[in-house]
Amino acid sequence: VSAAGQDFEMDSKYEMIKPIGHGAYGVVISAVDHEFNAKVAIKKIPNTFEDLVDAKRIVREIRLLRHFNHDNVIKVLDLFTPQPHDDFSDVYIVSDLMETDLHRVIYSRQQLTNEHIQFFLYQMMCGLKYIHSAAVLHRDLKPSNILLNANCDLKLCDFGLSRGLLEGEGTSGANLTEYVVTRWYRAPEIMLSCQDYSCAIDVWSVGCIFGEMLARKPMFPGSDYIHQLKLIMKLVGTPTESELWFVTNQKANRFVLSLPKYDKEDLSKSFPNAEREGLDLLSKMLLLDPARRISVEDALAHPYLAEVRDVDCEAVAPGPVDWGDVETCELNRDNLMRLLVEDFVAQVEARSKFTAADLGGSSTE
């Protein structure tokens, strides 16, 4: 079958429904998985090794998603190439089929009630708790990376920029220049060239998304780096020198201190219709100092989320993700192909243990 100019060579257990999107790395279709009688999304990535940096990003994401197993994180259901394992260029990734994303919902005419916002925020935090427990930072959370179904189920996706939190897995600032993480959702410590960063960067991003759900417009739509920082300071207030302890880069430190002096803004002015408890949580998620920013655990226990909280959803990963030598091996086609073949083989075994309940997207019923 063919979609958006791409031929899909798939096992007969998959039957295409329609093309549903195409992005930088490939074309996505919806399909029926006849083995489990479920609807799935199938992404074809053609010419995977054309750009080795992009290919490494794909390998990294596949490795992560294969290890993740949580209701609020997108799941890899199948992984294959129709070509010989010793020389292939196309990779197919089968995952949960979701109906839309949070960006589309925010900018639609659909009503977003306080209950919706609480439930979406709670699920994002459950997903974060899980990936952080696997020693992984997402690093690129934004509304278009938050997938939704009509029943309000939410899943985090797009882990191509993610990094491990353990020693030697690249949490130093040097890696941040590798790709442009979407600026509007980027934590200030990343923008200020801090060498070490933590789970707090993802909490900042979710705070930006929370504010965007409340106002139905971006919180910090900076047109460039300097504008971005000014917008942040206008809301949270300009820090004193002692509050900038985490900015070890002298140039960045001097730059912040040279900005106009802003007082912290009263959030109820920007969000007149929001609940007081919601604004309390938002202010704690958007603290400039990453050490004082609310943790995922404390956010989950915040009174604003009490009505939607279900501790059974707050599962943690069995252990840190095993990256193998993804980050350390020489970047070449042979190594990336070897890593993908390891994943193809492991996924065959994983799929053999699946039940219909593992396919958490849409049922064909």
Please tell me which residue in 33, 90, 101, 140 is annotated as part of the active site.
Answer: 140
C-alpha distances in Å from residue 269, one per residue of 235, 238, 274: 11, 18, 10
User: What residue type is 57 in one-letter code?
Assistant: R
Active site residue 140: yes
- In three-state form (DSSP H/G/I as H, E/B as E, the rest C), the secondary structure along the chain is CEECCEECCCCCCEEEEEEEEECCCCEEEEEEECCCCEEEEEEEECCCCCCHHHHHHHHHHHHHHHHCCCCCECCEEEEECCCCCCCCCCEEEEEECCCEEHHHHHCCCCCCCHHHHHHHHHHHHHHHHHHHHCCEECCCCCHHHEEECCCCCEEECCCCCCEECCCCCCCEHHHHHCCCCCHHHCCHHHHCCCCECCCHHHHHHHHHHHHHHHHCCCCCCCCCHHHHHHHHHHHHCCCCCHHHCCCCCHHHHHHHHHCCCCCCCCHHHHCCCCCHHHHHHHHHHCCCCCCCCCCHHHHHCCHHHHHHCCHHHCCCCCCCCCCCCCCCCCCCHHHHHHHHHHHHHHHHHHHHCCCHHHCCCEECC
Q: Give the gyration radius of the chain's Cα atoms.
A: 21
Annotated binding-site residue? 264: no
Among 74, 72, 126, which Cα is nearest to 95's?
74
> Which sequence positions are flagged as catalytic?
140
Binding residue ranges for ATP: 44
